[in-house]
Amino acid sequence: MHYHLIGICGTAMASLAGMLQARGAVVTGSDENVYPPMSTMLEQLKISVAHGYDARHLEPAPDCVVIGNA
């Protein structure tokens, strides 16, 4: 299953990304503000993070999109 997390660099969303990946999911994400420490963690996990918010980041279409509240 492929999850795309919008707002992935928030503490909760980055942690969720790591947990989903650990369970075998493909995880991608996007965020306007990409900076350590969460960007470093996502990079170490090899989770792709797109900068900014654009519908093109949802290609190919994920099975599930999770939107953060920040």
Three-state SS for 14? Answer: helix
Asked whether 8 and 29 are in contact (CB, 8 A), the reply is yes
Q: Which range of residues forms the domain containing residue 43?
A: 2-67
Domain count for the chain: 1
Model pTM? 0.93
CATH number for the domain that contains residue 18: 3.40.50.720
User: How far is the first Cα of the chain from the last one, in angstroms, to the nearest whole number?
Assistant: 25
Three-state SS for 2? Answer: strand
The pLDDT tens digits of the residues spanning 5-64 come to 999 999 999 999 999 999 999 999 999 989 999 999 999 999 999 999 999 999 999 999
What pLDDT score was predicted for residue 12? Answer: 94
